[in-house]
Amino acid sequence: MVKLSPRIKFILVTVDELLLVPLLIMGAYYFLPELVPFTIVATIVGAILFVAAKYHLIYDSLKEGTDFQYDLPGTRCKVIETITATSGKVKVGAEIWDARSDNGEILKGTEVVIVSRERLKVQVKPWHGVTN
């Protein structure tokens, strides 16, 4: 898989929207030729504002690395389905994750701490006021 820089990714996800600029100008030239100068200025200013807003909103999500939301080890959560070595579920914030425990059965309603994460499953242990 080719690794792209965040800047290249941003350009790739933005270029298709910017192709609308010449289409708007050509449409104005064809249908309202007297408004072409206004259309050119308004379209270019709008495109600049659009790119700036989009950059501000999505650029950080294009960077490589872990997202802070998924740096789960040490996070406390509540068991919503009894956890065993092979099954169970916990609620982490607003998300529900599959969970496993090597510490025996952990009953629904128990507060636990996440020890590790592997793909979409978390390994948990009972929380006793200390996360270490």
Q: How confident is the model at residue 111 (pLDDT cuts 50, 70, 90)?
A: very high
Give the pLDDT confidence of 6-40 residue by residue, as tens digits.
888 888 889 988 888 899 899 999 999 999 999 99
Q: Return the pLDDT at 67.
A: 52
Superfamily of domain 68-126 in the CATH hierarchy: Nucleic acid-binding proteins (2.40.50.140)
Q: Is the pLDDT of residue 79 over 50?
A: yes
Question: Which phi and psi (to 5°) does residue 112 adopt?
Answer: -130, 170
Whether pTM > 0.75 for this model: the answer is no
Domain ranges within the chain, ordered by starting residue: 6-62, 68-126
Residue 49: which of 41, 60, 23, 26 has the closest Cα? 41
